[in-house]
């Protein structure tokens, strides 16, 4: 690895100032970044360790405010958080799937988002759940960006020099709603998603029809993709098998898979259909079961 | 020569000071600076678990932590598992069950299993397998490792 | 020689391994743990292209970097010329070996070593690599065995012509060698067949996947002697290879085998050792080189990808009448795939009157392949055992009955000619058939289980189960397959000295890759009638123990164990002489039984081994037993495996539910380590079967050179692996030992393919049977 | 007289003969005797005076350890096969 510098600021102000320097990169859990720098896949001159900043370590739920998820909160805290498991199970699904226990101790959802892998396991669920990214800028302002607009390409985000993801905000869940995230990997652990699917849906009061649904796909495009048509097709429907099939077909149509060592484009498109239906069934069960 | 930074940490219960370059991983610091070579490098990218240590009690891959990041923290390595009173039950059970062949992954497995039993003293086989999925062993097929951990858990009760 | 499987006191027990405490406490020293004053760190510059000429190399900028002490290239190794040397386990072309350590004018695969740097830190050495300017002239490449065999394929070597047992073909080709075996008359044989099945198979390149990357530390001392500390399966073969590559006498080199973190055949050829030595010569300081994981995948020897065509026929009674096979194995960049053993194993489980086998060793632009656990046999068995399963299906014969009927047994003539001695093939099939696993119901497909579907482990929803009707659920199948491996004998040495406290210090020459110190010590203990714990075993370096071949070929417990046994006999003779001296009788009047010496003429005169040990100094000094053996009597190993799988028919993902491995192990010295060999072999076979493969892009670059994307099985991917040890004693060994380490990797891919067929009705003909491939087959069928 | 199995790829020199019974107390002598009957065999089996690299001699089912010096009995069966190296 080439020579680098390391700083561990305690405040956001210091952090944004450091991050404005040339070659500066934010370091949270480091489980992606350290490997990328080591293998010359990302350049860095200065690593700004964000784990000492209190605001980035916040994790709290409030029935009115929703969920505030600090960018540096490690996965295990999120996956084990009772409000996440109960109210945002799709996020819990995705976060729990990021790496093994060792990675869970370090990796953060903020890092997972900023790494901007198309296959990131937390992002489709965040998108489906309508999450927004709260960004600190060097001038001290806060920007709010829907997560589906945060990634701009493989490994690229909208963050500019000196800008920093502070936390993610998830709105309070609607009544009769739930969510799910599934991914397909060849093994049972320790793999990158061949396809990931996050869904969130809400039913009407007597739970006979869908009020709204959001579906997002991972690993089938340059960024995680929101597929609005697939979700929209479920609105007003009873979510019978034929409805799920229709949503799956629409999602497949909007997927932009490529062939690589993790799977062919055809196989990925096939999996989108399978996983959309499975994820919807799980979310549906979660609404009905709880 | 590259710039070094001064880090204070508690290593296996012992307060220690060390100097490291910012680019040096905790694994490199342990092995090359502190001569604690029990933590092994198998992949250097977080996929094999051979370098597992406990960082403030949580299981991590020391190849994915910078030495600089452990300032003020406590690190437990394989060298800190046995005591003057003898082997840890996991170490004893690994021996009794022949849960190692070449032994290169063994330190990582023992550290990981220790973290498991501290969190969940009575894990099921499935829970042991899930917890240890981040540790690769190429010799044993895992069978005897899983049995050793389950047996150590029984012993712990 | 009398060989029995019973009546032992030490053999067959399960003592704790002697090196165990060091290995569970992190104290055991492996190659990368070597530290010494003034140590420099070496790193290797590797070719970014799969095929090309090395036009120029300029290291001047690298040498200017402060902290960089030396750069070496092939010019720093001796030019060995186009020579073939016998280096312990097999013949090696030195020109190829040298080019594989540091390329000589040409690169033949992406990742091939081109130059090396020594610097005061590993990071600095890495930085220096970027400052070495290399000019390549790229050439077209070929990475597939069949493409490489075609006329007009890019040729890897200007001087390579097909060798056909010395018959000159004169034609330049990537086909390095043609081999052939014939028995009977296949054309006539197939005419007697009621059912004939012919299929083609492809298998991907796979890696041994040991967790410890290669490493070597070398010190070229001022007196011209070289010491090398490394991770190797054979210290003596390292010494021989390094001597040839550096052009110095053997006696100037000492190789110290450190503890080794797995090898499985991949740590026999040298990669780093001569380079570290050359860097040490230039700098006058010790130099340590370690590979990273990508280097291990891209630049050490995996086992070949292959193309295999198999045709087998059986008559209406289910008797095999003829078999034909063509095997083409990828040697990688240089000739030398394990084609011979593959071709010799492909039909070895069966008694077939008419056989014709052709084999081709083919160079491609991939790393030079090396041995991997039963080299060549797993590819071959995947093909033949899948065809056997299809024959059984057509004949409506139980696949284990078919193996019992057709299995090779004592007196069966192999396709390659020799006749089998006492072997246990049929016994493994019979035992598998009687095993509870084989008759257990496969179980219904999982019922709709409305357990809490939260945070499901696999994360793909396959096993959640739903009440929704019409949903396809995972399907189950069971498969069986058998396998054969020759095992090896080769040379081993041991010496053992008796200590005054009644213990024995044993020095043996086999690097201990999986508990073999203990299984060797147990054989010495058995021969002396003392406890396993009273033998203190150590692995010697090349200066402290006699020549010993590699830890490979499942030979260590067999051959080095035999050396220990012989050393024990040597000690016994000397102990008897001492007792005779003490008692004033002739040695013939002293009996040695169960660790006690007894005077035949005076029953009151008895000395235990320990009591006599205390008297050695007073009766002429220490006793040292020694032995060097090159034993005949190698016993081949057979295995029959049964596996249950569940396949998600919507994704093609295969889950192994239950696995039982039955194996003829001769006599299990330490049953736990025999079981461990079987379980480990099975799981490597499962990985090979389901997900492991080298994936190349169009640029000839491996795209998955990491543990993340190479996808070896994790603990979560597997059930317990049940083992059944069938003990058909090897009549050729004092304790009936057969090698056990290799054959368990042979059956799994075929067993899994056969189980997948039962689950889904599709025949898999390509490895790995990864979810995408299974799904593609399934979709093609629908 | 030992019975030598002619490797299929050498049968161009033996007119298709699969085996030959030849005199000789060891493998070297057997090859010499073969050479008398089938000129060219020696050069193909042992170029340069030793067994071809990668080739093993099997006498009565056992891998020969002495190369051309491996003894063969009057009723021995001799094969020339690829050498086995394990993993």
Q: What is the pLDDT of residues C481-498, one digit of tens each?
A: 999 999 999 999 999 999
Peptide bond preceding C768 in cis form (omega within 30 of 0): yes
Burial of C321 (0-12, 13-18, 19+ CB in 10 A): buried
Instruction: Indicate the DSSP class of residue C558.
Output: I
**Residue D31's CATH number:** 3.10.20.30
Nearest chain B Cα distance for residue C215, angstroms:
11
Q: C373, D87: Cβ pair inside 8 Å?
A: yes
- Chain-centre distance for alpha carbon C578: 44
Q: Would you give the end-to-end CA distance of chain C in angstroms? A: 61
For residue C167, give the DSSP letter. Answer: E
With a cut of 80, say whether residue D47 has pLDDT above it.
Answer: yes
| pLDDT greater than 80 at residue A40 | yes
Residue C23: which of B96, B106, B141 has the nearest Cβ? B106
Tally of domains in chain A = 3
Q: Which two structure tokens, joined as six digits, stand for A204?
A: 């009407």
Q: What is the mean predicted confidence (pLDDT) over C206-224?
A: 98
Cβ–Cβ under 8 Å, residues C409 and C423: yes
Say whether C167 and D62 touch across the interface (CB within 8 A).
Answer: no
Instruction: Round to whole Å and give the CA distance between C582 and C674.
Output: 42
- What CATH number is given to the structural domain containing A263? 3.30.390.50
Q: Which residues pair with C638 in a beta bridge?
A: C484
Please tell me the distance from the alpha carbon of residue C229 to that of residue A281, in angstroms, as a whole number: 58
Phi-psi region of C12 (alpha: psi -120 to 50; beta: other; left: phi over 0): left
What is the CATH topology of the domain spanning B89-156?
A: DNA polymerase; domain 1 (1.10.150)
Q: Are strands C475-485 and C637-647 parallel, antiparallel or unpaired?
A: antiparallel
Query: Residues of chain C with pLDDT > 70: what percent?
Result: 96
Q: What pLDDT, on the 0 to 100 scale, is given for residue C446? A: 52
pLDDT of residue C448: 40
Q: Residue C740 has which token pair?
A: 């056990």
pLDDT band for A44, please (50, 70, 90 cuts): very high
Q: D54 and C487 in contact by Cβ < 8 A?
A: no
Does D15 map to a domain? yes
Among the partner-chain residues C650, C695, C771, the one whose CB lies closest to the CB of A261 is: C695
Res C449: pLDDT: 41
Choose the mutation target among B89, B138, B148 for the interface with C, i.e. most C CBs under 10 Å: B138
Residue C471 has pLDDT above 50, yes or no: no
Q: What is the pLDDT of residue C88?
A: 65
Query: In this structure, are A13 and A89 located in the same domain?
Result: no
- For A174, A187, D81, the CA distances from D25, given in Å and listed in that order, are 93, 59, 20
Give D 25-54 residues with CB within 8 A of chain C: 43-45, 47, 52-54
Which residues 161-190 in chain A show a CB within 8 A of chain B?
A: 188-190
pLDDT at C85: 86
Query: Do chains D and C have 3 or more beta-carbon pairs under 8 angstroms?
Result: yes
Residue C171 CA, distance from chain mean position: 34
Whether C736 has its CB under 8 Å from any CB of chain B: the answer is: no
In this prediction, residue C452 has a pLDDT band, given cuts at 50, 70 and 90, of very low
pLDDT category of residue D34 using cuts at 50, 70 and 90: very high
Confidence (pLDDT) at B43: 98
pLDDT band, residue B156 (cuts 50/70/90): confident
Q: How far apart are the first and last CA of chain A?
A: 50
B89 close to C (CB below 8 A):
no
Q: What is the 3-state secondary structure (H, E, C) of B37-74?
A: CCCCCCCCCCCCCCCEEEECCEEEEHHHCEHHHHCCCE
What are residue C226's DSSP bridge partners?
C220, C253
Question: According to the model, what pLDDT value does residue A290 have?
Answer: 57
Q: Please name which of C569, C597, C595, C568 lies closest in space to residue C585, comparing C-alpha atoms.
A: C597
Supply the pLDDT for residue A289.
81
Segment 384-443 of chain C within 8 Å of chain B by CB: none
Q: What is the pLDDT of residues A188-243, one digit of tens each?
A: 999 999 999 999 999 999 999 999 999 999 999 999 999 999 999 999 999 999 99
- Range C692-709 average pLDDT: 97
Long-range contacts of C238-243 (CB under 8 A, 24+ apart): C238/C270, C238/C273, C239/C542, C240/C85, C240/C87, C240/C88, C241/C87, C241/C92, C241/C97, C241/C269, C241/C270, C241/C273, C241/C274, C242/C270, C242/C273, C242/C274, C242/C277
Q: How many separate domains does chain D show?
A: 1
Mean pLDDT over residues C54-63, rounded? 98
pLDDT band, residue C461 (cuts 50/70/90): confident
Q: Which two tokens stand for residue B151?
A: 């047996």
- Are the beta carbons of C530 and C609 closer than 8 angstroms? yes
Question: Between D79, D81, D83, which is nearest C90 by CB?
Answer: D83
> Could you give the CA distance from residue A66 to residue A122 in angstroms, rounded to a whole number?
17
CB A118 within 8 A of CB A219: yes
Rounded mean pLDDT, B110-116: 98
Q: What global pTM score does this model have?
A: 0.97
Q: How does DSSP classify residue C99?
A: H
| Contacts of C among chains (3+ CB pairs under 8 A) | A, B, D
Q: Percent helix, strand and coil across chain D, each rounded to 5? A: 30, 25, 45
H or E stretch covering A144:
strand A142-146
Sort out which chain D residues have CB atoms less than 8 A from C210's CB and list them: none
Other Cβ atoms less than 10 A from the Cβ of B46: the count is 29
The domains of chain B are located at 5-80, 89-156
Cα separation of A271 and A215, whole Å?
14
Category of C420 on φ-ψ map: left (φ > 0), alpha (ψ -120 to 50) or beta: beta
Lowest mean pLDDT among A58-72, B129-143, C451-465, C643-657: C451-465
D56 and chain C in contact, CB less than 8 A: no
Whether A166 and A59 share a structural domain: yes
Decide: C667 and C778 in contact? Cβ < 8 Å: no
Distance from the D28 Cα atom to the nearest Cα atom in chain C, whole angstroms: 18
Residues paired with residue C645 on neighbouring β-strands, in sequence order? C477, C656
pLDDT value, residue C470: 40
Cβ of A6 and B68 within 8 Å?
yes
For residue C636, pLDDT beyond 70: yes
Range list of H helices, D38-75: 41-45
Mean pLDDT of C626-652: 95
Which residues of chain C are within 8 Å of residue D86 when distances are taken between CB atoms? Answer: 89, 265, 371, 373-375, 485-488, 552-555, 739, 742
Q: Are residues A41 and A110 in the same domain?
A: no
Considering CB atoms only, which of A27, A34, A190 is closest to B133?
A: A190
Of C345, C356, C359, C358, give the one whose Cα is nearest residue C408: C345
A251 with A154, same domain?
Answer: no
**Contact: C123, A285; criterion CB under 8 Å:** no
CA distance C119 to C62: 10
| Nearest CB partner across the interface for C716, out of A1, A189, A192 | A189
**Structural domain boundaries, residue A183:** 177-289
| pLDDT surpasses 90 at C754 | yes
Which residues from C are below 8 Å from A181, CB to CB? Answer: 459
Q: What percent of chain A has pLDDT over 70?
A: 100
pLDDT tens-digit series, residues A132-165 = 999 999 998 888 999 999 999 999 999 999 999 9
A82 and A151 in a single domain? The answer is yes
Specify whether the CB–CB gap between C428 and C640 falls below 8 A.
Answer: yes
| pLDDT, mean over chain C | 95
Q: Are C235 and C262 in contact (CB under 8 A)?
A: no
Q: What is the pLDDT of residues B51-92, one digit of tens each?
A: 999 999 999 999 999 999 999 999 999 999 999 999 999 999
Residue of C nearest to A239 (CA): C468
**What are the percentages of helix, strand and coil residues in chain B, rounded to 5?**
40, 20, 40
Closest CA to C762 of C753, C771, C750: C753
The answer to whether residue C742 scores a pLDDT higher than 70 is yes
Q: Which of A153, A170, A187 is the last residue of a domain?
A: A170
Q: Write out the H or E segment, with its range, that includes residue C593.
A: strand C590-593
> Residue D87 falls within a domain, yes or no?
no
Neighbour count for residue C219 (Cβ, 10 Å): 22
A84 sits in which H/E element: helix A82-87
Can you give the residue range of the structural domain that contains D33? 2-82
Q: Give the helix/strand (H/E) hosting A87.
A: helix A82-87
Query: Nearest CA to CA, how far is D85 from chain C (Å)?
Result: 6
**Helices and strands of chain C, counted as H and E runs:** 21, 31
Q: What is the mean pLDDT of residues C238-264?
A: 97
Q: Yes or no: say if C568 and C625 are a contact pair by the CB < 8 Å rule.
A: yes
Query: What is the three-class DSSP state of C618?
Result: helix
Q: Is the pLDDT of residue C701 over 80?
A: yes
For residue range A185-194, what is the model confidence (pLDDT) as tens digits? 999 999 999 9
pLDDT of residue C4: 63
| Cα distance between residue A76 and residue A79, in whole Å | 5
Contact status, residue A132 vs residue A146, Cβ threshold 8 Å: yes
Domains delineated in chain C? 20-28+488-629 (3.30.365.10), 34-139+208-299 (3.90.1170.50)
Residues C89, D8: C-beta atoms closer than 8 Å: no
Tell me what pLDDT residue C3 has.
Answer: 58
> How high is the pLDDT of residue C89?
63
Cβ–Cβ under 8 Å, residues C656 and C647 = no
The pLDDT value recorded for residue A140 is 87
Residue C90, pLDDT score? 74
- Restricting to C residues 505-564, those with a Cβ less than 8 Å away from any Cβ of B are 513-515
Domain B5-80 has CATH 1.10.3720.10: no
Per-residue model confidence as pLDDT tens digits over C146-158: 999 999 999 999 9
Residue C633 near chain D (CB below 8 Å): yes
pLDDT of the residue at B120: 97
> Choosing among C21, C24, C232, C514, which should be mutated to test the B contact, i.e. which has the most B CBs within 10 A?
C24
What is the 3 state secondary structure string of C479-517? EEEEEEECCCCCCEEEEEEECCCCCEEEEECCCCCCCHH
CB contact under 8 A, B49 and A3: no
User: Which residues in chain B are closer than 8 Å to A47, comparing Cβ atoms?
Assistant: 22, 66
**Confidence bin at C39 (pLDDT 50/70/90):** very high
């Amino acid at each position: 690895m080439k020579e680098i510098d390391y700083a561990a600021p305690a405040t956001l102000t210091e952090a944004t100032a450091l991050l404005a320097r040339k070659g500066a990169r934010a370091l949270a859990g480091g489980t992606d970044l350290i490997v990328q720098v080591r293998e010359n896949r990302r350049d860095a001159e200065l690593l700004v360790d964000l784990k000492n900043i209190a605001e980035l370590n916040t994790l709290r739920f409030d029935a009115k405010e929703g969920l505030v998820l600090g960018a540096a909160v490690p996965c295990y805290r999120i996956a084990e958080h009772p409000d996440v498991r109960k109210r945002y199970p799709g996020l819990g699904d995705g976060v729990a799937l990021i790496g093994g226990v060792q990675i869970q101790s370090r990796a953060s959802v903020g890092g997972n988002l900023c790494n901007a892998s198309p296959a990131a396991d937390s992002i489709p669920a965040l998108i489906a759940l309508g999450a927004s990214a709260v960004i600190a800028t060097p001038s001290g302002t806060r920007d709010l960006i829907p997560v589906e607009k945060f990634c701009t390409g493989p490994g690229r985000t909208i963050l500019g020099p000196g800008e920093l993801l502070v936390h993610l905000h998830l709105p309070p869940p609607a009544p009769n709603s739930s969510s799910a995230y599934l991914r397909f990997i060849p093994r049972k652990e320790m793999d990158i998603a061949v396809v990931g699917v996050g869904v969130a849906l809400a039913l009407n009061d007597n739970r006979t029809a869908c009020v709204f649904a959001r579906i997002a796909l991972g690993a089938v495009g340059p960024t995680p993709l929101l597929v609005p048509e697939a979700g929209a097709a479920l609105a007003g429907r009873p979510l019978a098998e034929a409805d799920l099939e229709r949503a799956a077909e629409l999602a497949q149509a909007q997927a932009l898979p490529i062939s690589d060592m993790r799977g062919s484009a055809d196989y990925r498109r096939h999996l989108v259909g399978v996983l959309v239906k499975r994820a919807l069934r799980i979310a549906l069960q979660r609404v009905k079961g709880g | 020569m590259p710039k070094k930074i001064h880090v204070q940490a508690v290593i296996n219960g012992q307060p220690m000071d060390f100097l490291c370059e910012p680019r040096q991983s905790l694994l490199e610091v342990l092995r090359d600076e502190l001569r604690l070579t029990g933590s092994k490098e198998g992949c250097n990218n977080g996929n094999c678990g051979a370098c597992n240590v406990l960082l403030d009690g949580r299981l991590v891959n020391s190849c994915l932590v910078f030495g600089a990041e452990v300032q003020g923290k406590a690190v437990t390595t394989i060298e800190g598992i046995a005591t003057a009173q003898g082997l840890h039950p996991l170490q004893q059970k690994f021996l009794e069950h022949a849960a190692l062949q070449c032994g290169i992954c063994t330190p990582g497995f023992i550290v990981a299993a220790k973290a498991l039993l501290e969190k969940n003293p009575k894990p099921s086989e499935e829970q042991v397998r899930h917890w240890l999925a981040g540790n690769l062993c190429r010799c044993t097929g895992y069978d005897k490792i899983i049995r050793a951990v389950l047996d150590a858990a029984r012993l712990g009760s | 020689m009398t060989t029995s499987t019973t009546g032992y006191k030490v053999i067959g027990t399960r003592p704790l391994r002697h090196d165990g405490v060091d290995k569970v406490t992190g104290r055991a020293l492996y190659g990368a743990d070597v530290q010494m004053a003034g140590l420099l760190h070496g790193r290797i510059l590797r070719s970014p292209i799969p095929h090309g000429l090395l036009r120029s190399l300029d290291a001047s900028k690298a040498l200017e970097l402060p902290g960089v002490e030396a750069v070496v290239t092939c010019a720093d190794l001796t030019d060995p010329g186009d020579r073939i040397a016998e280096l312990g386990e097999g013949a090696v072309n030195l020109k190829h070996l040298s080019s594989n350590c540091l390329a000589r004018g040409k690169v033949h695969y992406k990742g091939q070593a081109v130059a090396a740097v020594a610097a005061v830190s590993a990071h600095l050495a890495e930085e220096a690599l970027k400052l070495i300017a290399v000019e390549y002239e790229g050439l077209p490449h070929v990475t597939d065995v069949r493409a490489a065999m075609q006329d007009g394929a890019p040729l890897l070597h200007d001087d390579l012509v097909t060798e056909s047992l010395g018959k000159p073909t004169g034609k330049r080709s990537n086909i390095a060698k043609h081999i052939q075996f014939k028995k009977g008359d296949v054309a006539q044989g197939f005419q007697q067949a009621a059912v004939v099945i012919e299929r083609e198979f492809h298998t991907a390149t796979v890696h041994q996947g040991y967790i410890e990357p290669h490493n070597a530390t070398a010190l070229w001392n001022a007196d011209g002697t070289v010491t090398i500390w490394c991770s190797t399966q054979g210290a003596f073969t390292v010494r021989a290879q390094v001597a040839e590559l550096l052009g110095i006498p053997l006696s100037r080199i000492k190789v110290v085998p450190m503890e080794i973190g797995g090898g499985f055949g991949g740590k026999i050829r040298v990669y780093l050792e001569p380079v570290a030595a050359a860097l040490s010569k230039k700098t006058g300081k010790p130099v340590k080189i370690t590979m990273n994981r990508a280097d291990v995948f891209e630049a050490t020897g995996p086992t070949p990808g292959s193309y295999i065509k198999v045709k087998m026929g059986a008559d209406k009674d289910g008797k095999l009448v003829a078999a034909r096979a063509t095997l083409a194995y990828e040697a990688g960049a240089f000739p030398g795939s394990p084609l011979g053993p593959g071709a010799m194993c492909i039909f070895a489980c069966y008694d077939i009157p008419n056989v014709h086998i052709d084999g081709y060793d083919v160079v491609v632009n991939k790393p030079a392949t090396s041995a991997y656990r039963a080299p060549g046999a797993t590819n071959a068995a995947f093909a033949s055992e899948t065809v056997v399963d299809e024959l059984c299906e057509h004949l409506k014969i139980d696949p284990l009955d078919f193996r019992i009927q057709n299995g090779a047994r004592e007196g069966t003539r192999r396709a390659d000619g020799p006749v089998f001695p006492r072997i246990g093939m049929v016994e493994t099939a019979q035992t598998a058939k009687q095993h509870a696993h084989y008759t257990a119901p496969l179980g219904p497909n999982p019922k709709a289980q409305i357990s809490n579907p939260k945070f499901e482990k696999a994360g793909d929803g396959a096993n959640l189960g739903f009440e929704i009707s019409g949903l396809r659920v995972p399907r189950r199948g069971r498969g069986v397959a058998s396998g054969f491996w020759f095992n090896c004998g080769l040379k081993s040495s041991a010496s053992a000295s008796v200590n005054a406290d009644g213990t024995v210090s044993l020095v043996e020459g086999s690097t201990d890759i999986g508990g073999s110190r203990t299984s060797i010590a147990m054989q010495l203990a058995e021969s002396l009638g003392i406890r396993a714990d009273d033998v203190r075993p150590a692995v010697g370096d090349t200066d402290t123990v006699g020549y010993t071949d590699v830890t490979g070929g499942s030979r260590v417990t067999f051959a080095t164990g035999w050396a220990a046994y012989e050393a024990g006999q040597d000690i016994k003779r000397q102990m008897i002489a001492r007792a005779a001296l003490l008692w004033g009788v002739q040695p013939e009047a002293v009996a040695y039984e169960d660790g006690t010496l007894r005077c035949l003429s005076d029953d009151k005169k008895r000395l235990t081994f320990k009591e006599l040990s205390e008297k050695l100094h007073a009766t002429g000094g220490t006793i040292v037993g020694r032995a060097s053996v090159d034993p005949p009597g190698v016993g081949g190993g057979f295995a029959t495996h049964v596996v249950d799988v569940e396949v998600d028919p919507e994704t093609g993902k295969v889950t192994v539910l239950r696995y039982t491995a039955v194996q003829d192990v001769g006599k299990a010295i330490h049953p736990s380590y025999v079981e461990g060999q079987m379980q480990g072999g099975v799981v490597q076979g499962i990985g090979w079967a389901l997900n492991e493969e080298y994936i190349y892009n169009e640029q000839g670059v491996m795209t998955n050179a990491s543990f993340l994307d190479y996808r070896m099985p994790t603990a979560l991917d597997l059930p317990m692996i049940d083992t059944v040890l069938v003990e058909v004693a090897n009549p050729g060994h004092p304790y009936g030992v057969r090698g056990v380490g290799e054959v368990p990797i042979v059956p799994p891919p075929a067993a899994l393919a056969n189980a997948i067929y039962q689950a889904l009705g599709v025949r898999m003909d390509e490895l790995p049977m990864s979810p995408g491939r299974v799904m593609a087959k399934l979709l093609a069928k629908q | 007289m030992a019975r030598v199995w002619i490797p299929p790829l050498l049968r161009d020199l033996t007119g298709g003969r699969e085996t030959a019974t030849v005199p000789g107390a060891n493998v070297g002598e057997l090859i010499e005797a073969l050479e008398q009957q089938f000129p060219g065999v020696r050069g193909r089996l042992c170029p340069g005076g030793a067994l071809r690299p990668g080739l093993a001699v099997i006498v009565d089912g056992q891998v020969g350890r002495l190369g051309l010096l491996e003894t063969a009995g009057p009723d021995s069966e001799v094969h020339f096969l690829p050498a086995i190296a394990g993993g």
